Amino acid sequence: MISPLVRIQRGDFSLQDEIDALPAGRADIGAVVSFIGLCRDEAGTLAALELEHYPGMAEAEIARVAAEAVERWPLMGLVAIHRYGLVRPGDQIVLVLAASAHRRAAFEAADFMMDYLKTRAPFWKREHRADGTLGGWVEAKADDDDAAKRWDLAP
Amino acid sequence: MSNAIAKAATGARPVRIVYFAWVRERVGLPEETLDIPTDLATVADLVRWLKARGEGYEAAFSDEAIVRAALDHVHAKPQARLGDAREIAFFPPMTGG
């Protein structure tokens, strides 16, 4: 069974670099699904998002679900990278890559990883507004919990 | 040895308690080491004990159903037993991803 790669980092990441590193010389991978979450500004009012995290637990918790994904689907590669610190609208926040022989397992594993990351990985977003003021903490969404429940993994 | 006996006699043990996001802001501290009574059995018991410590704690835990907890980096429900956890965390529902 493969070892998932989990990274929690302040800096940016490169999708292409991670895909290039993924197959590691094997030619039996037939599908790679990638998901990138971006910092979104809906109304032109957001200067940046500040991502607070729980060092140690963030890595441990994402590694636990990655291990579960590897148990549930026949994966040949699995990567989860989550940034912390200040990110600006348009910046990348999170990357999930799932590789398998066929597309279905790769799609499902990536979907599962993101539903989990939303509800169980210890990260908290706070808004910094374009007018220079500090906004509030982003509130958790009930539909994220509902999405995670599809996999029987809600907190 | 004598220290261990003294600790047992006083019925308290030191734990590191860490707070995140608006729980951290309301408590006013990112972390602290507290001697907690050994008769606190569950996460909910600890929350009630913390709330008696002052206004900041009262504000942080005003809605006990909202605040989440982790014992040694593992999510824990209010009824979870503290056991011999050394690091206990409290934080709002998560908003990563």
Long-range contacts of the stretch B30-35 (C-beta < 8 A, 24+) = B35/B10
User: Which of A51, A54, A65, A113 is most worth mutating to test chain B (most B CB atoms within 10 A of its CB)?
Assistant: A54
How distant is the Cα of A74 from the closest Cα of chain B, in angstroms? Answer: 24
Predicted model pTM: 0.91
In a domain, B49, yes or no: yes
A138 interface with B at CB cutoff 8 Å: yes
In a domain, B2, yes or no: no
Cβ-defined contact of A137 to B22 (cutoff 8 Å):
yes
In a domain, B3, yes or no: no
Amino acid at B20: F
Q: Chain A to chain B, count of Cβ pairs less than 8 Å apart? A: 74
B94 interface with A at CB cutoff 8 Å: yes
A60 interface with B at CB cutoff 8 Å: yes
How distant is the Cα of A28 from the closest Cα of chain B, in angstroms? Answer: 30
Domain extent listing, chain A: 5-149
Residues with Cβ within 8 Å of residue B52, at least 6 apart in sequence: none
State the architecture of A5-149 in CATH terms: Alpha-Beta Complex (3.90)
A78 to A62, A140, B55: CA distances (angstroms): 12, 26, 45
pLDDT level of residue B1 (50, 70, 90 thresholds): very low
- CA neighbours closer than 13 Å in the CB half-sphere of residue B44: 8
| CATH (domain of B59) | 3.10.20.30
Write out chain B residues lying below 8 Å of A140, CB-based: 92-95
DSSP track, A86-137: EE-TT-EEEEEEEEESSHHHHHHHHHHHHHHHHHHS-EEEEEEETTS-EEEE
Q: Which two tokens stand for residue A126?
A: 């706070």
Structural domain span for residue B82: 15-91
In a domain, B62, yes or no: yes
Alpha carbon distance B4, A155 (integer Å): 36
Partner A, chain B 6-25, Cβ-Cβ below 8 Å: 18, 20-22
Write out chain A residues lying below 8 Å of B68, CB-based: 155
Cβ-defined contact of B89 to A121 (cutoff 8 Å):
no
Which among A37, A53, A140 has CB closest to B93?
A140
| Backbone φ and ψ of A107, nearest 5° | -60, -50
Number of structural domains (chain B) is: 1
Q: Which helix (H) or strand (E) holds A47?
A: strand A46-53
Which residues pair with residue A110 across a beta bridge? none
Alpha carbon distance A31, A80 (integer Å): 17
Nearest CA in chain B to A94: B97
User: What letter does residue A34 receive in the DSSP assignment?
Assistant: E
Alpha carbon distance B32, B49 (integer Å): 15
Q: Please state the separation of Cα B83 from the chain's center in Å.
A: 12
Each of the 155 residues of chain A gets a pLDDT tens digit; together they read 899 999 999 999 999 999 988 866 678 899 999 999 999 997 889 999 999 999 999 999 999 999 999 999 999 999 999 999 999 999 999 999 999 999 999 999 999 999 999 999 999 999 999 999 999 999 998 888 888 888 775 45
